């Protein structure tokens, strides 16, 4: 392994002790090495066929058990390590580097097994697993807290100050970047100039840094010049922005009149239209039921339905109407018609009234006279021949 050779070169004298540090990525602790000891993998390794270094991803919590949090700046996760053996395959493309990083036992034993050396008896701290105090030599510092950006109170933009700042920016660009390909807005953005022109007078450098947002890249080079320029300007105190009032707007009413919206005490109130609508309202038509059970709840019209009577001549029976007849009792409920003032045409059942049959016409039938013998009559034959003659 190149790591072992590099760490051994750091020891220049037998009287000196060296310390080797291996930096690995976090994804090495997320690899699942439990499948490298199967028979199929071992057979492939014995044949000398190099396999892929893409190990399957381990389940959740696998990286923490194998020491991914050890050596942090606070030192509270140094004991988060499962003392379990990790399978080793020295013929893999990584040459056992994944096992060396994830092992829960002595790291020196892993190297001894890879190279086939004799067990060592070190006189110095062996590794970070056997002696966790070695982690203090490589422990990182605590991360610095990122300060939050404080919102700058701005008011109405002072146009004179903004024009003066734009003029100063153009002079700086002509003096230092006249032959550059970028324009003056690269030195300081237009949004930053608008903010500086709306915060009032600035007398200190920290106030200027706060107004620019703390992310102006040219603050260290042009901060003092910009502060001197702003001190020479006659900048009035910050003026509050004018509040926008809700404008009155007419709303069209139902009947075409306007309904005005007024603002009283910060709330909106609608005025109702007092003019009544002139649109005629069409009432719902009253449906006259034809069923006798519901006839008492509705008013009858001037016509009623009269049952059919058979006529003397054959043919279809047409309904007749009378304005003074009593309503009949029908054996069935007719369907209502809501869009016509006349009752529907109904066909009575065929079994309610007797049906007269059609007169039959008797047609004479030609029946031959019975013969007494099978032999033909010579007289009849003679007569027939005489007829044709």
Structural domains present in the chain: 1-142 (no CATH), 159-232 (1.10.150)
Residue 211 token pair: 């107004």
Q: Does the CA dihedral 98-101-106-107 come out positive or negative?
A: positive
pLDDT at residue number 273: 47
CA–centroid distance for 320 within its chain: 69
d(CA 34, CA 57): 11
Average pLDDT over residues 194-201: 92
Confidence (pTM): 0.42
Residue 372 has pLDDT above 60, yes or no: no
Whether residue 108 contacts residue 126, with contact meaning beta carbons closer than 8 Å, is answered with yes
pLDDT at residue number 172: 95
Whether residue 187 contacts residue 173, with contact meaning beta carbons closer than 8 Å, is answered with yes
Percent pLDDT > 90 in the chain is: 23
- Name the nearest CA neighbour of 115 among 8, 268, 274, 257: 8
Average pLDDT score over the chain: 73
pLDDT at residue number 295: 46
Question: In Å, how far are 242, 249, 268, 271 from 246, measured between CA atoms?
Answer: 13, 9, 9, 16
Give pLDDT tens digits for 334-370.
Answer: 555 555 666 666 666 655 555 556 566 555 555 555 5
Q: Name the more confident of 273 and 93.
A: 93
- List Cβ neighbours of 113 (8 Å cut-off, separation of 6 or more): 88, 90
3-state helix, strand, coil in the chain (%, to 5): 30, 5, 65
62-76, 267-281, 351-365: which is most confident? 62-76
Residue 121 has pLDDT above 90, yes or no: no
Residue 24 has pLDDT above 80, yes or no: yes
How many CB atoms are located within 10 Å of the residue 27 CB? Answer: 11
pLDDT at residue number 51: 56
């Amino acid at each position: 392994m190149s790591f072992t050779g590099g760490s051994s070169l750091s020891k220049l004298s037998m009287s000196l002790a060296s310390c080797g540090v291996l930096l690995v990525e976090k994804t090495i602790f997320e690899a699942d090495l439990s499948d490298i000891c199967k028979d199929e993998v071992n057979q492939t390794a014995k044949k000398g066929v190099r396999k892929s270094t893409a190990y399957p991803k381990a389940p959740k919590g696998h990286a923490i058990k194998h020491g991914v949090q050890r050596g942090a700046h606070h030192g509270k996760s140094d004991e988060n390590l499962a003392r379990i053996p990790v399978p080793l395959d020295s013929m893999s493309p990584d040459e056992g580097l994944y096992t060396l990083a994830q092992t829960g036992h002595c790291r020196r034993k892993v190297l001894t097994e890879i190279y086939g050396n004799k067990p060592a008896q070190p006189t110095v701290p062996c590794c970070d697993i056997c002696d966790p105090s070695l982690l203090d030599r490589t422990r990182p510092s605590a991360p610095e807290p990122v300060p939050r950006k404080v919102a700058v109170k701005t008011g109405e933009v002072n146009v004179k100050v903004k024009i003066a700042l734009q003029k100063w920016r153009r002079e700086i660009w002509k003096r230092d970047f006249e032959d550059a390909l970028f324009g003056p807005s690269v030195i300081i953005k237009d949004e930053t100039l608008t903010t500086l022109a709306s915060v009032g007078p600035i007398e200190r450098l920290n106030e200027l840094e706060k107004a620019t947002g703390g992310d102006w890249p040219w603050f260290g080079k042009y901060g003092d010049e910009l502060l001197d320029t702003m001190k020479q300007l006659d900048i009035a105190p910050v003026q509050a922005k004018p509040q926008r009032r809700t404008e009155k707007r007419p709303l069209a009413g139902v009947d075409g009149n306007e309904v005005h919206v007024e603002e009283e005490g910060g709330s909106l109130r609608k005025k109702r239209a007092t003019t009544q609508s002139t649109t005629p309202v069409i009432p719902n038509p009253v449906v006259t039921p034809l069923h006798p059970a519901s006839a008492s709840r509705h008013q009858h019209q001037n016509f009623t339905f009269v049952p059919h009577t058979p006529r003397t001549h054959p043919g279809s029976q047409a309904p007749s109407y009378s304005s003074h007849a009593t309503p009949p009792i029908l054996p069935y409920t007719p369907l209502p018609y809501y869009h016509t003032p006349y009752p529907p045409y109904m066909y009575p059942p065929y079994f309610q009234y007797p049906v007269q049959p059609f007169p039959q016409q008797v047609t004479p039938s030609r029946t031959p006279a019975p013969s007494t013998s099978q032999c033909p009559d010579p007289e009849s034959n003679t007569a027939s021949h005489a007829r044709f003659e």
